[in-house]
Amino acid sequence: MKILIVGTTGMLGYSLFTNLSDHDGYEVFGTVRNILGKEKFFEEYLDNLIFDIDVNDFSRLKSAIETIKPDVVINCIGLIKQHDISKRHINAIEINSLLPHKIAQVCDGVSAKLIHFSTDCVFSGKEGKYIETDIPDATDIYGKSKCLGEVNYGGHLTLRTSIIGHELNTSVSLIDWFLTQNNKVNGFSKAVFSGLPTCYIANILIKYILPNKQLNGLFHLSVDSIDKYSLLKLISKVYGKGIEVIKSEHLVIDRSLDSSYLRNKTGLNTIDWPELINCMYADYLKRYCK
């Protein structure tokens, strides 16, 4: 199976690119603008990188897809909520809303399947345990733009999920931010999360998603929910960090997703949180400590 990862230097893209590349049976390519300052992470994979791909010049991405003719395109490009640019309407709409549909259109022309990742942030977090038929009720531009970008037609697949993992050279996301802290941080015991490590998403793709060529539409991808206080305590323990996590009930939000639909369709079984964090830590030592 020939796979093209769009956005290979991002947190999700790098993890999927490297984990899938290391799996027998897949020929994996990845698009990047450049890898300046990140060369050490790609030493084993340089021959399969496609350089100078900037989604602001869509013609180059279109050409790459048409040249490679992959069986599957996995879109890992998206503006994340932590960056101010995701609050700029034009940028958010162009990248989060329009781009996935433009990629899907190109995929149709080469008989490729698009796997696109959406987010639990399409929901407000007032209810929790959301299923696919629940109406997205985000009020911010990030959540709305991600909702508009969901591709649930034409044999393509959108997975709504939330991720944790490691970045390349930055510390914006939860895990890398936490690991840079000293002494103590707040852990929100009323903030409920059901996402999963990026490396474990790669495992799920390999075992359950990619072999299931008929799987299409919109599905929630989640594990058992956990609150952010318990999550940070567990990460601190597994990573051997002496960071004190102080329980706080200040933030109340539950964007947990119910993935029963995907589980019934694929037979998906997931591991518990201690195993998930151990999986993430092992992947961290292998791929990021260079």
Q: Residue 238: pLDDT above 60? A: yes
Q: How far apart are CA 95 and CA 75, in angstroms?
A: 11
The pLDDT assigned to 87 comes to 61
**Residue 75, domain member (yes or no):** yes
Q: Residue 179: pLDDT above 70? A: yes
**Residue 247, domain member (yes or no):** no
Question: Confidence band (pLDDT; 50, 70, 90) for 83?
Answer: low
* Strand, helix or coil for residue 266: helix
What's the CATH number where 154 sits?
3.40.50.720
Read off the tokens for 87: 């609050």
Q: How far apart are CA 147 and CA 73, in angstroms?
A: 19
**Residue 279, domain member (yes or no):** no
**Residue 243, domain member (yes or no):** no
Classify residue 23 as exposed, middle or buried by CB count within 10 Å of its CB (0-12, 13-18, 19+): middle
Type of residue at 205 = L
For the chain, what is the domain count?
Answer: 1
Q: Please report, for the chain, how many H helices and E strands are present, in that order.
A: 10, 14
Number of Cβ within 10 Å of residue 14's Cβ equals 27
Lowest mean pLDDT among 73-82, 192-201, 224-233: 73-82
**Residue 108, domain member (yes or no):** yes
Mean pLDDT taken over the chain? 96
Lowest mean pLDDT among 38-47, 73-82, 89-98: 73-82
Q: How far apart are CA 121 and CA 256, in angstroms?
A: 10
Per the structure, the complete domain to which residue 263 belongs is given by 2-170+194-225+254-271
**Residue 277, domain member (yes or no):** no
Number of Cβ within 10 Å of residue 200's Cβ equals 24
